[in-house]
Chains A and B, each alone.
Chain A
Amino acid sequence: MKELTTWKELRTEFGTKNLIDGFTGAFALVLLPLLLTIAAIIEFITVFLYLLTLSVFLIIIALFVSVFVLFHLWRRSLMLMNEEVTLDFKKLFLKPLLIFGIVVLILGLIFIFFLIPILFV
């Protein structure tokens, strides 16, 4: 409930347009390196298939780091728009970051233990 209030305050402080603009900028900066990293890991898998589990963990880490950087850049973007902002929204971003990390980890583990044995028939 407290978080919802903070999100509302954030929207009041910056406006929906600026929030979306900040997120888009952060997303654009993160996307290209992320895609290149994932492409590189996939090509790594084709040569080092016997290190497949390690490679899946590398993808999980890459996704987690990318989302961390995404939220960091989003926050930076908002701070740059209004340097005198008093609202502490650093912690606000922590929860979605953790949720995303857990979801990615679960999906990765499902991939390792269930999908890999099915795919490599």
Chain B
Amino acid sequence: MNELLRYYKKIILALILPIVAFAFLLIARIPFAVYAPGGISEVEDLIEINYNEDKEITGTISTTYIMSIQRPTYFQFILGTFSPYSSITVLSSGYANYTNEEISQISYLDHVTSIDASIIIAYQKAAETNSNIHIDYDVKILVFGKAVYLDHYDEISFGDEFIQMVGDGDTIVTTIDDISTYTTLSDAYDFTFYNSEKGQYTVTLSKDEEYDKFGITLKTYYLVDDSTIYPTYTENSSNIGGPSGGLLQTLAIYNHLIDEDLTKGLKIAGTGTIQYDGSVGYIGGVEQKVITAYLNKVDLFFMPSLDPDYASDNYQVALQVCEEYGIEAEGWLIPVSTFDEAVAYLEGLDVS
């Protein structure tokens, strides 16, 4: 080894500094976010409905994902500036205090709960015409956010289920709205949660003096009751996070439950969260999602459109992106505000 090191000594010495500098670019992270085009993912690969197995689905329904790099390395940041399709922003204030692992946990929670929402909406819609289909769900309150000043920060995890808290006058509080009502007389209260292993634990949380808040964000979710659902379904693991696949997941599940084939042989993709009332919600990364769909040559792309007068309306932004990149939006980019609208569009589509 020594002979080799001596022989290449000059080259090694000359390369040390560039290699260290390059390693620094690859390792050091900066508080920005890079958004880049990703891909499309067929919902059938993610959720298998154990029903209508013989039904022939001629087309595909896919969700669209983008690469969302929170706290990129310098190298990723530089690459992002060179990519014609990427955008770079300062790290969102909502994520600024979270580690990348925590951001992944939030993203995962968003994703799994969006699947439950999709199942519920699709089954309820299909049950209107098929009495065999049945679904029940539980309403649960889960931990969705944690502030840096939250007590017992490491004990409470994202997705833990809120059971109750003991409020003023020993009132047992079990709803989000009642928490502020019954926490006016003291600074600290006992909160009880279930963790992911269904273990119950109680922690005393105190209000932060500056914000007068406990520092925990709770959100209500509807979760499928697997014991009574018909038909059953299998949810495969996924590397993709976030709730923006909601609308397309719902469409694909619904398409599997009904007799007709809504896809009509088309490669359908889109984006948009799904709410429990069947309405579609806004998403982020419109530009990258439109480009992703375009690069993947999809036939139809659903985009949330809730208010044409709102400058940041997803559909309006998507139209601008199409114009910028020379993509023909007419008949390709489809604005929708509800799940029913998307179904109606596909039902009325003439592909002959």
Contacts and interface: CB of A to CB of B under 8 A. Distances in A.
A binds B: yes
Contacts, number: 80
Given A46-B76, A121-B46, A33 B69 contact: no
B227 to A, nearest CB: 26
B8 A119 contact: no
A80 B38 contact: no
28 contacts: A24-B1, A25-B1, A25-B4, A25-B5, A28-B1, A29-B8, A32-B19, A36-B23, A39-B26, A43-B26, A43-B73, A43-B76, A43-B79, A47-B67, A47-B86, A49-B37, A49-B39, A49-B67, A50-B85, A50-B292, A50-B295, A77-B3, A81-B3, A119-B239, A121-B41, A121-B45, A121-B46, A121-B236
Given A47-B34, A47-B86, A49-B67, A40 B1 contact: no
A46 B239 contact: no
Contacts of B99: none
A48 interface: yes
How extensive is the interface on chain A, given as a class? 20 to 34
A17 B341 CA distance: 75
Given A47-B83, A50-B295, A120 B39 contact: yes
Interface of B: 1-5, 7-8, 12, 19, 22-23, 26, 34, 36-39, 41-42, 45-46, 67, 69, 73, 75-76, 79-80, 83, 85-86, 236-240, 292, 295
Contact of A73 (B4, B42, B46): B4
Contacts of A81: 3
B4 A22 contact: yes
B1 A77 contact: yes
A46 B288 CA distance: 13
B1 A46 contact: no
A47 B80 CA distance: 6
A95 B42 CA distance: 43
A76 interface: yes
A46 B83 CA distance: 11
